[in-house]
Amino acid sequence: MVEIRLTNSKTRKKEVFTPIDPENVRMYVCGPTVYDRAHLGNARPVVVFDVLNRLLRHVAKENGWGKVTYVRNFTDVDDKINATALQRKEAGAPGTLEELIAERTEETIRWYHEDMDALGTLRPDHEPRATEYIGQMIAMIEQLILDKHAYPEPDPRRHNQDNAATVYFDARSFNDRRNFVEPVHALFDVESFEEYGNLSGRSVEDMIAGARVEVANYKKNPMDFVLWKPSTDDLPGWDSPWGRGRPGWHIECSAMSKALLGDVFDIHGGGNDLMFPHHENEIAQSCCANHTDRMANFWLHNEMLQVEGKKMSKSLGNFFTVRDLLDQGVPGEVIRFVFMGTHYRKPMDWTEEKRVNAELKLQKYIELIRQFGDLEHAKTLSPMKAIVDALASDLNTPLALTGLDAAARSTDGSQLARDLVFLGFYTWSELAEALEGQVTETFDLGDWEDTLISARAEAMETKDFSRVDTLKQALVAAGVEVRMSKAGVELIPGPDFDPAKLEGLS
């Protein structure tokens, strides 16, 4: 039996993971709003929860559980999507605004799949689109209104003449959709849910003070959030008890997760920027509509991404998409390796140095597998226990990567191949292709290692390190990675290694 321990954002503790139903382990992760290319920060949760998905599937076999059901949604109805389509229309693109929205959505989903596939992530079992679950969203909103957890904004026809009183819609006595003159908003009443704020650890008063909330005269409380909003004729919209409109963002995930995973499921994940308000609002909606005390047993949140120590932003000129890196020739497995070098609950800093080191290390692994591995034998092996245990300990990917180094040091190329596939860096076919494509002339750097060791020993006596520095500079200039530690010296030829540059140097 493998014991998985995960840090639960709801309890702020590391807890043993036990599935609600061992025959169906269920996980929901918030997916993208499909209006543009995924930037590098968007990709981090995709890789984090892909690792968890792979771990769960492996442990399910080890522990005798049943299947794993992984759901990640596409938000394909949103103001940002509408705005992007409107820009294209104003730029002269042919078609109606609704047609341009549909075209942009399909294009962006295709891009997303291409880019995330390149990072070695497995497709989830279900990738629901919000527009496919409008009926379920409407039903959930109606239930919330019936239970007095939500309300529509006042119908203008039902105000008295001097507007002295506000009369809110009662779904039990006013269900005829034709009774509305104009479409109205439907909103969740946060004061009706006592546990609101428990996930993020904030009181309603703190949330009002610290959040940008939309001030609207149809809200009972500034923190009340939109479940349904009116749509104009040229924008996507659906008929509802509150007139023609479209769903608010938060209700989408509540409806889709309920439809595909049930009222309560095992794991809900996403970036920590979603903890408030998105996940907080999901919990409120789902618990109230489904009459449950929780939405998911575990909540997992990854930290954000930086670039060279700074927040990624267009104004700083350090903003780039996954596709930008791929087009620059950075392999997807290298991006994945850099991501996994930092624990998911810590901020991740993307640097050029990390990229270079990751690329060199993966090339070294491929060369070791070529020399000492057998792919057919590797397929019969299990992942290294140390790697599985590292992932089972709150997804400790940096520790898991040390397992790859252990296999490399022991020159167990078959085990190394098995673990690279398990961790998602390659499929078996990709690994076979990499082994064929990276055929390099072997060059023994052992003499240079001995020379550098001797020079360093002499320098320790004389305190003159000029010879050591000269040798290191020459090796680096020739494309060799120089690693010096108390244990010794390791020289690793890089992709640009040129042995001719070492000729004549002694």
H/E stretch holding 207: helix 204-210
CB neighbours of residue 234 within 10 Å: 13
Give 221-250 as a DSSP string: STT-EEEEEE--TTS--B--TT-SEEE-HH
φ, ψ dihedrals at 268, nearest 5°: -125, 130
Closest CA to 75 of 113, 127, 129, 37: 129
CB neighbours of residue 285 within 10 Å: 29
496 burial level (CB within 10 Å; 0-12, 13-18, 19+): exposed
Q: Is 278 annotated as contributing to ligand binding?
A: yes
Q: Per the structure block, which two tokens stand in for 495? A: 């992709």
Closest CA to 305 of 351, 259, 361: 351
DSSP H helical ranges for 373-465: 375-378, 385-392, 397-409, 413-422, 428-437, 446-462
89 burial level (CB within 10 Å; 0-12, 13-18, 19+): middle
Q: Is 503 annotated as contributing to ligand binding?
A: no
Closest CA to 335 of 70, 31, 50: 50
φ, ψ dihedrals at 303, nearest 5°: -75, 170
396-405 core/surface letters (b: 16 or more CB in 10 A; e: else): bbeebbebbe
Closest CA to 214 of 202, 199, 229: 229
Closest CA to 303 of 339, 272, 332: 272
Structural contact between residues 235 and 257, judged by C-beta atoms closer than 8 angstroms: no
Looking up tokens 């049943």, which residue turns up?
66
Q: Per the structure block, which two tokens stand in for 498? A: 């040129």
The CA distance from 454 to 325, in Å, is: 41
Q: Is 288 annotated as contributing to ligand binding?
A: no
Using alpha carbons only, give the angle 14, 18, 24 rounded to the nearest 5 degrees.
Answer: 135
- DSSP, collapsed to helix, strand or coil, labels residue 13 as strand
Residues tagged in the binding site annotation for ATP: 314
Binding residues for Zn(2+): 30, 253, 278, 282
Which residue ranges make up the annotated binding site? Answer: 30, 253, 278, 282, 314
